[in-house]
Amino acid sequence: MLSELQRQIGDFVLGRTELAPAGIRDDGITPAMRLAIHRHSARTALTKALATQFPAVERLVGAGFFAMAAARFIASEPPNSPRLLAYGEGFADTIAGIEEAASVPYLADVARLEWACGRAAGFEYQQPISIDALAALAPEHAPLARLRLHASMRLLELDHPADTIVNAVLADDDDALARLDPLACPVRLAVYQRAQRVIVSRLDAAEWAFVQGLSQGQTLGSLVAQAGDTAALLLAAQFTAGRIGEIDADGG
């Protein structure tokens, strides 16, 4: 059947098998050799797309190791869209499962951060709202209002300081790399777009809890009650940083 032949060709091109499917004409070159050309072209294009998404990962491990990791990811998770700029969502998990990457324990976190940055950058620009919109709410409506985070927002809780690592690697700052301890501490990061730039901000425990509450759709009254004396500062900080995309004044 055609569908079965297509599946077998796909498995070969993606590197899932070395057995060329039967039924392909030998037109002066063996079926395996013909399909190997397609496999090389496909793998090269997909590896290049992943390297574009994860430049710090590639620099940390080198082109050879990166190509090996990419080949494993391509075989397990081929693209399901022609938009290769959106390809690579599970790459960090693939890296985490590669035994040879154990000597670089922060590598998967670097990939997670780079993926979040890429997703934030890909959003159509959205102007954040100012705190004036909150001040305009009627006092009786404010406690039930819900503040929606900027649409590009990604929240990451990582075991390693991936933000510092990525900055040093992409800046080719060998001195900064030599000074930092990649195993120093976990970090909580807010990744989002502002003025068509990607912002990566570290959050302390209190701000992380507050922003998590926002992402979960908690009402303003509930968040203020939980934050206590720090509520006003935490709330103002989100508007100042440009992290609020809209207000649902009716609490819906």
Among 16-20, 135-139, 206-210, the range of highest mean pLDDT: 206-210
Least confident residue range of 90-94, 116-120, 174-178: 174-178
Q: What is the pTM of this model?
A: 0.84
Per-residue confidence (pLDDT) for residue 184, from 0 to 100: 76
Per-residue confidence (pLDDT) for residue 2, from 0 to 100: 47
The predicted-structure confidence for 224-250, as pLDDT tens digits, reads as follows 999 999 999 999 999 999 999 999 877
More confident residue, 35 or 148: 148
Q: Which residues pair with 156 in a beta bridge?
A: 189
* Average pLDDT of span 47-70: 95
The predicted-structure confidence for 6-48, as pLDDT tens digits, reads as follows 555 555 655 566 655 565 666 656 666 656 656 666 778 899 9
* Average pLDDT of span 111-131: 91
For 10, list phi and psi in degrees, rounded to 5: -60, -45
Per-residue confidence (pLDDT) for residue 77, from 0 to 100: 87
Domain boundaries, the chain: 1-104, 126-252
Least confident residue range of 20-24, 140-144, 213-217: 20-24
- Name the nearest CA neighbour of 202 among 157, 153, 235, 152: 157
How many Å apart are CA 58 and CA 68, to the nearest integer? Answer: 11
- Residue 55 tokens read as 């430049």
Give the H or E element holding residue 76. Answer: helix 55-76
- Name the nearest CA neighbour of 95 among 81, 80, 115: 115
Least confident residue range of 138-147, 185-194, 227-236: 138-147
Per-residue confidence (pLDDT) for residue 5, from 0 to 100: 46
Q: Is the dihedral of CA 42, 97, 20, 79 positive or negative?
A: negative
How many Å apart are CA 42 and CA 104, to the nearest integer? Answer: 28
**In the predicted model, is pLDDT for residue 3 greater than 70?**
no
Q: Kindly tell me the burial class for residue 60, based on how many C-beta atoms sit within 10 Å of its own C-beta (0-12, 13-18, 19 or more).
A: buried
Per-residue confidence (pLDDT) for residue 140, from 0 to 100: 83
Residues 70, 54 contacting (CB under 8 angstroms)? no
Per-residue confidence (pLDDT) for residue 28, from 0 to 100: 59
- Name the nearest CA neighbour of 199 among 140, 252, 149, 249: 149
Residues 124, 91 contacting (CB under 8 angstroms)? no
